[in-house]
Amino acid sequence: MVQKTATTKRQIAQSKPLLVGMVLIVLCIGVGAGAGVYVANYLFAQAPEPIPPSVSVPRRLSKAPVVSEPDAVIPPIVDGMVPEIQRLETKQPVAFLTIDDGGVRQPDFPQYLRQNNLKATLFLANAFIEKDPKYFRAFVRDGHVIENHTLGHDLAMSTKPIAYQQQQICGMSDQLVEYYGRRPALFRAPGGRYTDITRRAAQQCNMRAIVGWKATIDYGVMRYQEGTMLKPGDIVLLHFRDGFKTDIDVYIKETSRAGLRTELLEDWL
């Protein structure tokens, strides 16, 4: 018994420096963290108030988690005209999927995007979706974002007066708020046809950019505007039409061949 007590005492004595060391480490960490918090508080207290943007559109259009750290910027509005983007300038391996019109609406389209883990920006025109705006609520629920493709999808819109173009663009924004509760911030012209007048009309309707594309997929055929392969930041255009799933399959094949993952345009802007 005595022997045992002696052994225990010795053990305690031996472990004393260890205990003291641990206490010191814990103390150091505590003091260090305290100092860090103090410095952070000081710095943030000194930081100036952020300047609110002049246009009342949120800086990031979606709050979905982003895998990449977005490093691209939209060119600014110049002379009251929104810029056009076909590709985001980035070295990160991303592509952006956009799907237009809303002419063909099959029940399993949302599921097909979901099972392939794809998020897309949908440029819809009221002319196509007014008969069944409910159909696209499933897309909104899944995290896709609906943007502005005009009321009437008039392919000659860009040749007409600015008042008409404004009515087509602003009118569709109002319509989308009514249908889905979100005001769009991006615009695609019908047929991709636009002039400086269209860019002005889009700006007056609070659009941030006209969105073009670097490649299209139609009925299973991929067409590149340049080269034979997607590049980082490319925007790709598909349509809601018969053969939609084939087009999605081609999209998946071509993005994986180029080593790109799909992210949502709105997460980057």
List residues binding Zn ion (CB under 5 A).
100-101
Q: Which residues are CB-contacts of 241 (< 8 A; sequence separation ≥ 6)?
A: 101, 103, 104, 219, 247
Q: Which is closer to Zn ion, CB of 93 or CB of 133?
A: 133
Q: Which is closer to Zn ion, CB of 118 or CB of 237?
A: 237
Smallest distance, Å, CB 153 to Zn ion? 6
The three-state secondary structure class of 49 is: coil
Smallest distance, Å, CB 171 to Zn ion? 16
In sequence order, what DSSP letters do the residues of 175-203 get, joined into one string?
HHHHHHS----EE--GGG---HHHHHHHH
Q: Which is closer to Zn ion, CB of 101 or CB of 267?
A: 101
Smallest distance, Å, CB 189 to Zn ion? 8
55, 82 Cβ separation under 8 angstroms:
no
Q: Which is closer to Zn ion, CB of 213 or CB of 251?
A: 213
Pairing verdict, β 215-218 and 221-224: antiparallel
What whole-number distance in Å separates Cα of residue 146 and Cα of residue 139?
Answer: 9
60, 145 Cβ separation under 8 angstroms:
no
Smallest distance, Å, CB 250 to Zn ion? 19
Paired with 235 in beta bridges are: 96
Smallest distance, Å, CB 172 to Zn ion? 12
Q: Which is closer to Zn ion, CB of 197 or CB of 238?
A: 238
